[in-house]
Amino acid sequence: MSEKHEPGMAYSMPKLNKIMAFLSFILLATTIWVFLDDYIRPWKAIQIEALKIQRHHTELEIEAAQKEIDEPKLQEFKKSLLTGEEIVTSRNSEIAKVEKELSKVRASLKDQTIKNGFFNADSTALNFQYESAEGHGRELEAKEKLKALQKLKAEFDLGKNNFKSLQEKEKEILGRLADLNKEVITIQKEIKNVTGKLELLQAAKKQTDMDPIFALRNMPFLDFLDPTIKIQQIVLKDVTDDRYFRQIDKVDRCITCHVFIDKPGYEKENNPFRTHPKLDLMVGMSSKHPMKQVGCTVCHGGEGHRVNDFVTVAHTPNNEKQEKEWVAKYGWKEAHHIAQPMFKLSQTEAGCVKCHSGVELIPGATVLNEGRLAIVKNGCYACHKIEGWEGKRKPGPSLLKIASKVDKEWFKSWVWSPRSINAHSKMPSFFGQSNNSIPEFTKLNLTEVNAIAEYVWEKSKPYQPNEKFHPGNAVNGKKLIGEIGCLACHGVEGLEEQSKKIGGFAGPYLSGIGSKVKPDWLVSWLKKPWHYQEDTIMPSMRLTDSEASDIATYLLSLKNPKVEGLKFAEFDKTLRDYLLADYLSAFDTIEMAREKVSKMDDHFKTMDLGKRSIGKYGCYSCHNIEGFDGIPPIGTELTKEGSKPITQFFFGLQHQVPLKRDAWITAHLQNPRRWDIGIDKAFRDKLRMPNFYLSESEATKITTAILGQVADVVPMSGVKRYTAGEAIYNDGMKVVNKFNCVGCHQVDGMRGDILRGYEDDINLAPPRLVKEGQRVQPNWMYHFLGNVVPIRPTLTIRMPSFNLSLSDKNRIIAGFQQGANQGTYEEPAIEVTWLPGEKDQAVKLFNAYACTSCHTIGFNKNTPMAPDLHKASARLRPSWIRLWLHDPQKILPGTTMPTFFTEDGKGIEAGFFDGDAERQINALTKYVIELGGVGLK
């Protein structure tokens, strides 16, 4: 060991101190940085900007309010205020005396309040002591306490009494004081009336001052106390966010930046300062979707609880142009891993779906409704299950008796390429697509179509048409088709312009019929469609034999030269065997499969391939085909398509399609086979969704409807819940939609496609049904639906006779009743009782208003222009007749029925019933009821 040394120093102390000073400074600087970093938030700048905008608006309002003030009047008031003040000043000594008196009374009042407070506290405590002593059997003590308590209570009562009398006195003195000041007070009130609004506005402006107090409240370190610049939020109890392990109340903080979203008057500001459009429907306090109850992201999507910055909340640009703008302005990019980013503005209506289930069309949701109609039109729901869309009819015609309807060769050509036979075909194209048009696959496809036809024909049941075709007048037939209402459901060749205008789509577009169906079948179908197909929605138009012949003659004259004499490719039996072996090789070796196939007999092989092919392409999803009962539809379920993660969409090599859910759906709808392009796949694995050749606009609308199909769990309390009546109405409307009643009738403002063909005179169109349940008697409607009788003599268009089931009729009637809030029957008038002399006047009035100039039937020989009044009482509810007479334009704008009554309750004909509208209407209603033979028969 070396000898012991005193320990020394390794570093120089002043140098160490300098380092310490430097490091301390760094730590201080970083600490300040922490607070600043925490303090500076993007939304604060926005709120300050909003404050400035608000101030500007208030200033403008102040200016306007100042202009409103009647200056000379104000000056006058001020003058009289001066004189009033003089008078009051002369009473100064008196006022001073009264005021002294007042302050004395007020002092006593305060004193009594304190005393009473003690009385109250003491007596309750004493009460407890008494009751507790009594309860524990300390009788002596209880007695004493009770005595004390009673004494105290008596004193308390006196105190309370005194308090009341003091209050009385105070009131009296205040009255005197007001009396002494009355010359000033009244004038002051007048002045307040003039300047009140201005003062309120000025107070509002003061709230937007950025004064030292404002700065102090929002200062870093102090802003936790009571800041004015702060995060604003809406907490929703009825709608939750799925946080995977639990549902959390939805919190939307969008209003932190979208400050004026619910305040009218900021419509012209730039976002985020703009007012929400349609405040009466959305966001507004009195709208159906008030902000405090519905929030923002429920409809719009996005991460409503985040306020970090523009990007993380998952704003979504509406188009590429906006995306570029946002990238430049906010550094926008796709938010990371967000299940439901904000919907594009043009797709916002998709947000309606999750709450508004169980209804087909949502009033006000234009794009969504068009998308849903396109789904109905193209029959997407038939192959793709969508919850809430179950139980709709199959969009294609039944093939159960097809052999008696069309030619087999035609059938094959049609299946092969419907579009080339009928350009308007709703049947989509399975073959000749981008993934199966190489010669090798085409040959296989041809074999499949041949097998399908063989299968369908084999299973087709015999059918004997119940009519014979006799040639008629084609020109008249064409005229009838245009007039009687066929166009509400069908487009028709030769009537292209009208067809396009009306756009009927419930039935097929009728072209080349002469090359398609057999004449006898056609006549039979026209006269009684359900003779051939029981569940068809095609109605009977109650055609006479000659009308039916004429129409059939016209339709049969529509030949399609492309299919005339067309022979489909030969059935290639080697390829049939090849395909069958391919199917079987899924479980066997290919040799085994081939051997199995070679052992089958020829007919069985054809049938087997036919059935497998129908299953493969899902024909049975749209058409009724024997042997496919109860088999679920072929397509992917779309109920939750809007929440499917983007990674589960296969984009293949379609690099031009943006990696977004909506872009995929739109691209898919326009060409479903595109994902196969360039992908190495065997024939059997090729995509099979057929091509509907949808336009981009139609595809985007359907996309919106599908995007709305989200998996979000909305608690029962948050979903739009229908009242019993609304549910019955919606159910009725489903039947109305199924039979395409809405092709002709506009029902409560929705649809009425054929009206587009009657722009010149709406009175020639089928009647619009506005609160139909309020108009007609249910009993009448039931009989009418079963046995249609024409009502309006001027109409050439006919109400068809549908093959409605009892349940369908009931649902329609109940739906209409509930839709008009008519829960029950209205007791029909059994007997009309007239007041003395009333009938006499009623008849005269009836003539004075010249009712019979239009309602001629049964009154004169003129051409009738309006319904037969003799039948009105059986059909209409008396209450509705009154409403109708009162103001027909209000119910059916544009009706030819004149209005006889003025708004102030007078009849135009003043000479009857003292010109009183109410009494005139009453009398006319009674008369009309009596015309019907009193009451219902």
Partner 1 sequence: MLRELVNSISDPIFSFPLCTFGFYMMLKHYKIVGTKKFAYWTTAGMLPIIAWFLADTNFFSIIKTPDNIPIIILLLAVVFFTWFSIHKAAINDTRIENGECPIEGTEENREKIWCWPNLVYIELFAIIACTAFLIVWAIVFKAPLEEPANPTWAPNPAKAPWYFLGLQEMLVYFDPWMAGVVLPLIIVAGLIAIPYLDTNPKGNGYYTFLERKMAISLFLYGWLVLWIFLIIVGVFLRGPNWTFYGPFEFWDLHKVVSSFNVNLSELVWVKGLGIGMPKNLIVREIFGIVACLGYIMLLPPWIAKATKKGKEIYENIGFIRYNILMFMFLMMMSLPIKMILRWLLSLKYIVALPEWELNL
40 binds partner 1 (CB under 8 A): no
Question: To the nearest whole angstrom, how small is the minimum distance from the Cβ of residue 706 to partner 1?
Answer: 20
34 binds partner 1 (CB under 8 A): yes
Between 33 and 825, name the residue whose CB sits nearer to partner 1: 33
* Strand pairing class (247-252; 282-283): unpaired
Between 53 and 338, name the residue whose CB sits nearer to partner 1: 338
33 binds partner 1 (CB under 8 A): yes
Which residue, among 924, 845, 833, has the nearest Cα to 883 in the 3D structure? 924
Cβ atoms of 369 and 339 closer than 8 Å: no
16 binds partner 1 (CB under 8 A): yes
Question: To the nearest whole angstrom, how small is the minimum distance from the Cβ of residue 24 to partner 1?
Answer: 7
Phi, psi angle pair for 364, to nearest 5°: 95, -15
Question: To the nearest whole angstrom, how small is the minimum distance from the Cβ of residue 604 to partner 1?
Answer: 40
| Contact pick of 26, 215, 235, 830 for partner 1 (by CB under 8 A) | 26
Question: To the nearest whole angstrom, how small is the minimum distance from the Cβ of residue 313 to partner 1?
Answer: 12
| Contact pick of 72, 630, 645, 837 for partner 1 (by CB under 8 A) | 645
| Contact pick of 14, 18, 37, 205 for partner 1 (by CB under 8 A) | 37
Question: To the nearest whole angstrom, how small is the minimum distance from the Cβ of residue 244 to partner 1?
Answer: 5
835 binds partner 1 (CB under 8 A): no
| Contact pick of 23, 203, 423, 679 for partner 1 (by CB under 8 A) | 23
Between 337 and 861, name the residue whose CB sits nearer to partner 1: 337
Question: To the nearest whole angstrom, how small is the minimum distance from the Cβ of residue 659 to partner 1?
Answer: 11
Question: To the nearest whole angstrom, how small is the minimum distance from the Cβ of residue 215 to partner 1?
Answer: 25
H/E stretch holding 37 reads helix 13-39
Q: Give the interface segment with partner 1, choosing from 21-29, 170-178, 271-279, 442-450 (CB under 8 A).
A: 21-29
**What's the token pair of residue 758?**
């009657």
Q: Give the interface segment with partner 1, choosing from 10-18, 51-59, 268-276, 849-857 (CB under 8 A).
A: 10-18
Q: Which amino acid is at 154?
A: A
Between 658 and 725, name the residue whose CB sits nearer to partner 1: 658
Between 13 and 285, name the residue whose CB sits nearer to partner 1: 13
| Contact pick of 19, 203, 345, 713 for partner 1 (by CB under 8 A) | 19
632 binds partner 1 (CB under 8 A): no
- Count the residues of the shown chain that bind partner 1, applying the rule CB under 8 A: 29
- Output the 3-class SS for 393-450: CCCCCCCCCHHHCECHHHHHHHHHCHHHHCCCCCCCECCCCCCCCCHHHHHHHHHHHH
| Contact pick of 93, 270, 271, 647 for partner 1 (by CB under 8 A) | 647
Asked whether the bond before 397 is cis by omega within 30 degrees of 0, the reply is no
Question: To the nearest whole angstrom, how small is the minimum distance from the Cβ of residue 343 to partner 1?
Answer: 18
What is d(CA 177, CA 617) in angstroms, rounded to the nearest whole number? Answer: 95
Give me the residues paired with residue 342 across strands. Answer: none
Question: To the nearest whole angstrom, how small is the minimum distance from the Cβ of residue 42 to partner 1?
Answer: 14
311 binds partner 1 (CB under 8 A): no
Cβ atoms of 769 and 746 closer than 8 Å: yes
Between 310 and 859, name the residue whose CB sits nearer to partner 1: 310
Cβ atoms of 800 and 540 closer than 8 Å: yes
Helix axes 602-617, 439-459, angle to 10 degrees: 110
Three-state secondary structure call for residue 79? helix
Between 67 and 337, name the residue whose CB sits nearer to partner 1: 337
Between 98 and 711, name the residue whose CB sits nearer to partner 1: 711
5 binds partner 1 (CB under 8 A): yes
Question: To the nearest whole angstrom, how small is the minimum distance from the Cβ of residue 221 to partner 1?
Answer: 17
From the centroid of its chain, how far is CA 672?
29
What is d(CA 28, CA 34) in angstroms, rounded to the nearest whole number? Answer: 10
724 binds partner 1 (CB under 8 A): no
From the centroid of its chain, how far is CA 650?
31
592 binds partner 1 (CB under 8 A): no
The secondary structure of 617-675 as a DSSP string is: HTHHHHS--TT-TTPPPSSPP-TTGGGS-GGGS--TT-TTS-SSHHHHHHHHHH-TTGG
Q: Which long-range contacts (CB under 8 A, 24 or more apart) does 417-421 make?
A: 419/693, 420/562, 421/512, 421/560, 421/562, 421/563
Which residue, among 594, 591, 692, 711, has the nearest Cα to 645 in the 3D structure? 711
What is d(CA 488, CA 743) in angstroms, rounded to the nearest whole number? Answer: 5
> 915: how many CB neighbours lie within 10 A of its CB?
16
Tokens 């679920």 sit on residue: 632
Which residue, among 662, 616, 654, 621, has the nearest Cα to 434 in the 3D structure? 654
> What x-and-dash track marks residues 237-266 binding partner 1 by CB under 8 A?
------xxx---------------------
Q: List CB contacts of 589: < 8 A, sequence separation 6 or more.
A: none
Question: To the nearest whole angstrom, how small is the minimum distance from the Cβ of residue 463 to partner 1?
Answer: 51
Question: To the nearest whole angstrom, how small is the minimum distance from the Cβ of residue 27 to partner 1?
Answer: 5
Question: To the nearest whole angstrom, how small is the minimum distance from the Cβ of residue 22 to partner 1?
Answer: 9
Phi, psi angle pair for 382, to nearest 5°: -70, -40
Question: To the nearest whole angstrom, how small is the minimum distance from the Cβ of residue 9 to partner 1?
Answer: 6
Between 5 and 567, name the residue whose CB sits nearer to partner 1: 5
Between 2 and 824, name the residue whose CB sits nearer to partner 1: 2
Between 36 and 590, name the residue whose CB sits nearer to partner 1: 36
20 binds partner 1 (CB under 8 A): yes
**What's the token pair of residue 45?**
């700048």
10 binds partner 1 (CB under 8 A): yes
Between 48 and 338, name the residue whose CB sits nearer to partner 1: 338
2 binds partner 1 (CB under 8 A): yes
Q: H helices within 218-309, ranges in order?
A: 291-294, 297-300
Cβ atoms of 852 and 860 closer than 8 Å: yes
| Contact pick of 3, 11, 716, 833 for partner 1 (by CB under 8 A) | 11
8 binds partner 1 (CB under 8 A): yes
What is d(CA 47, CA 43) in angstroms, rounded to the nearest whole number? Answer: 6
24 binds partner 1 (CB under 8 A): yes
What is d(CA 338, CA 536) in angstroms, rounded to the nearest whole number? Answer: 46
What is d(CA 283, CA 305) in angstroms, rounded to the nearest whole number? Answer: 18
Give me the residues paired with residue 540 across strands. Answer: 801
Question: To the nearest whole angstrom, how small is the minimum distance from the Cβ of residue 7 to partner 1?
Answer: 4
Between 20 and 213, name the residue whose CB sits nearer to partner 1: 20
574 binds partner 1 (CB under 8 A): no
Q: H helices within 208-228, ranges in order?
A: 212-217
Considering only residues 321 through 340, tell me which ones interact with partner 1, judged by CB under 8 A.
336-339
Q: Give the interface segment with partner 1, choosing from 3-11, 280-288, 789-797, 811-819 (CB under 8 A).
A: 3-11
Most distant CA pair in the chain, distance:
147
Question: To the nearest whole angstrom, how small is the minimum distance from the Cβ of residue 251 to partner 1?
Answer: 13
13 binds partner 1 (CB under 8 A): yes
What is d(CA 661, CA 16) in angstroms, rounded to the nearest whole number? Answer: 62
Cβ atoms of 379 and 702 closer than 8 Å: no
Question: To the nearest whole angstrom, how small is the minimum distance from the Cβ of residue 243 to partner 1?
Answer: 5
Cβ atoms of 354 and 643 closer than 8 Å: no
What is d(CA 172, CA 325) in angstroms, rounded to the nearest whole number? Answer: 71
| Contact pick of 31, 186, 464, 902 for partner 1 (by CB under 8 A) | 31
What is d(CA 284, CA 298) in angstroms, rounded to the nearest whole number? Answer: 15
Question: To the nearest whole angstrom, how small is the minimum distance from the Cβ of residue 336 to partner 1?
Answer: 7
Helix axes 573-584, 439-459, angle to 10 degrees: 90
Chain residues binding partner 1 by CB under 8 A are: 2, 5, 7-11, 13, 16, 19-20, 23-24, 26-27, 30-31, 33-34, 37, 243-245, 336-339, 645, 647
